[in-house]
Amino acid sequence: MAMIYNHGDGKVEFINGTGWAPSGLTRELIMSKYGGVMPRYGPLSIVVPGMVGGVHALWQRHGSMEWGDLLRPAVRLAEAGLPVMPRLEGALNSLRETYHDDETARTYLANRWERIDMRRLGKTIGGIAEAGPSFFYKEVGEAITEYVNSMGGAFSLSDFKDYTPEWREPLKAEYRGCTVFESPPNSQGLTTLIILRDVESRGLPANAKDRIDVLLDIYRKAYSLRDEHIGDPRFVDVPIDSLLKFNAAGPNANNKILEGDTTNFVVIDEAGNIVSAIQSLYHPFGSRITEPTYQITLNNRASDFKLDGPNGVAPRKRPLHTLSSMIIEKGGEPMAAIGISGGHFRPQQHVLLLMNLIDNGMDIVNAIDAPRFLWDGNEVFAEEGVDAPIRKIKYPGATGVAHAIQILGRERIAYADPRGDGLAVGQY
């Protein structure tokens, strides 16, 4: 997914590059194989990978460089191999007991400072550089279909060949003199705006003594509304306007909120055009399945389907997505662009960052550095530095990794969260 601000006409756009379910992934199949519970990993946890198509659509509309030139640095990096840094080593250790196929084990189970051999992936990216997304959705798609279906998957070749990303209107809501643009359904971005609108309607100060209790009350209802109403708008009617008018009175959600494994980047060019993009396999190493010929590790986004309801599983349906990103305007001009990892926590993280930035008047560095508190569906926990009698974790802790750019007149402040391995860079 990506949010785009076009400096030429001041328009904010959104490209939805999320994948859809296989043609054979039905409610009846999940009932017969898993008793009605979506599998976390494995062949039935995979949707068609949409990133290649989404990035290409973004390039077609807004790109200024040659397509192949954009991908060749990625080819070189893959050919050189991926060094196992300490942070990656921790993720690999968690994979050792949970990989689903031997190819995933052969690819990733390396030790610290070794290099993971990614040459086959480099050739795959090279093929995409030369032939565009048709190479991926035809040749690579055929290989993925054969491999995953040999393990019990439900793909047809047409699931890949027919795949197309979607240009959609972003959602927007006013918040304390600013306009916040968020990702539309099938993203959970609407949840962020539901929370913000209720925070503003209550007049909640950012540093109110009871702000954690009040936000927790709002979170519970907002997540409940998300689960009751948000799904793929090609399949269900999402009542966006009425959801943005809610207040937090009503039944509370009590569902475990899971983290994901996400990468985002935020870019602004010399003309003032902005891209805030986010992508993920969902959980670390996705489905734990890696197609061997093209070395594609596949997502586990289908695991977020439910059996019934607006997010009920169905062929060619996009699941409710945790991914979303934001662009914020003030006075009709861009003020900031933000993305953060965190899975189902993301609406809470977005709200905290915006309260720091807008309500407290922090710059983007302090807004991101500030200690956070999160609700996991059962309890609230916080990083050290949050003044509240709740369970504390070490600062900086596992509360998401934000990347952002703040625009102050002609000045741009880019910042990468110290909780992760990102880097802010500029060209001169």
Q: DSSP for 406-427?
A: EEETTEEEEEE-TTSS------
Is the preceding omega at residue 396 within 30 degrees of 0, hence cis? Answer: yes
pLDDT at residue 68 greater than cutoff 60: yes
Residues 94 and 71 in one domain: yes
| Residue 274 near residue 6 (C-beta atoms within 8 A) | no
Residue 267 lies in a domain: no
- Which runs of E-coded beta strand occur in 191-347? 261-268, 274-282, 290-291, 296-297, 326-330, 333-340
> Distance of CA 162 to CAs 5, 66, 235, 298, Å?
28, 25, 17, 18
Residue 425 lies in a domain: no
**Tell me, what's the pLDDT at 101?**
77
Distance CA 91, CA 95 (A): 7
Residues 197 and 340 in one domain: yes
| Residue 23 near residue 158 (C-beta atoms within 8 A) | yes
Residue 35 or 90, more confident: 35
Residue 365 lies in a domain: yes
Nearest to 341 by CA among 283, 415, 264, 397: 264
pLDDT at residue 80 greater than cutoff 90: yes
pLDDT at residue 384 greater than cutoff 90: yes
**Tell me, what's the pLDDT at 34?**
94
Residues 121 and 191 in one domain: no
Instruction: Provide Rg for the chain, Cα atoms.
Output: 21
Handedness of CA 42, 45, 51, 52 (dihedral sign): positive
Average pLDDT over residues 367-388: 95
Nearest to 333 by CA among 284, 274, 269, 283: 274
Percentage of residues of the chain with pLDDT beyond 70: 96
pLDDT, tens digit, for every residue of 175-230? 999 999 999 999 999 999 999 999 999 998 877 889 999 999 999 999 999 999 99
| Long-range Cβ pairs for the range 242-246 (8 Å, 24+) | 243/190, 243/194, 244/173, 244/190, 244/193, 244/194, 244/197, 245/197, 246/194, 246/197, 246/198, 246/221, 246/222
Amino acid type, 176: R
pLDDT at residue 428 greater than cutoff 80: no
Residues 352 and 216 in one domain: yes
| Residue 101 near residue 287 (C-beta atoms within 8 A) | no
Residue 421 lies in a domain: no
**Tell me, what's the pLDDT at 253?**
44
Residue 269 lies in a domain: no
Average pLDDT over residues 54-65: 96
Q: How many domains is the chain built from?
A: 2
Return the bridge partners of 180, or none.
173, 328
Residue 257 or 401, more confident: 401
Angle between helices 211-229 and 189-202 (to 10 degrees): 140
Residue 230 lies in a domain: yes
Name the DSSP letter for residue 202. H
**Tell me, what's the pLDDT at 254?**
45
Average pLDDT over residues 112-126: 95
| Residue 282 near residue 300 (C-beta atoms within 8 A) | yes
Q: Which helix (H) or strand (E) holds 142?
A: helix 141-150
Residues 152 and 27 in one domain: yes
pLDDT, tens digit, for every residue of 320-341? 999 999 999 999 999 999 999 9
Residues 341 and 216 in one domain: yes
Strands 326-330 and 296-297: unpaired
Q: Which domain holds residue 62?
A: 17-165+282-304
Tokens of residue 156, six digits: 């047809």
Residues 329 and 232 in one domain: yes
Residue 263 lies in a domain: no
Q: What angle do CA 237, 242, 244 make, to 5 degrees?
A: 110
pLDDT at residue 252 greater than cutoff 50: no
Handedness of CA 99, 101, 104, 109 (dihedral sign): positive
**159 Cα distance to chain centroid:** 22
Nearest to 362 by CA among 388, 395, 338, 397: 338
Residues 80 and 227 in one domain: no
- Three-state DSSP state, 402: strand
Residues 72 and 129 in one domain: yes
Tokens of residue 42, six digits: 């494995």
**Tell me, what's the pLDDT at 248?**
47
Residues 154 and 172 in one domain: no
pLDDT, tens digit, for every residue of 283-298? 989 999 999 999 999 9
Tokens of residue 389, six digits: 């009698």
Residues 228 and 343 in one domain: yes
Distance CA 204, CA 199 (A): 6
Residues 154 and 178 in one domain: no
Residue 264 lies in a domain: no
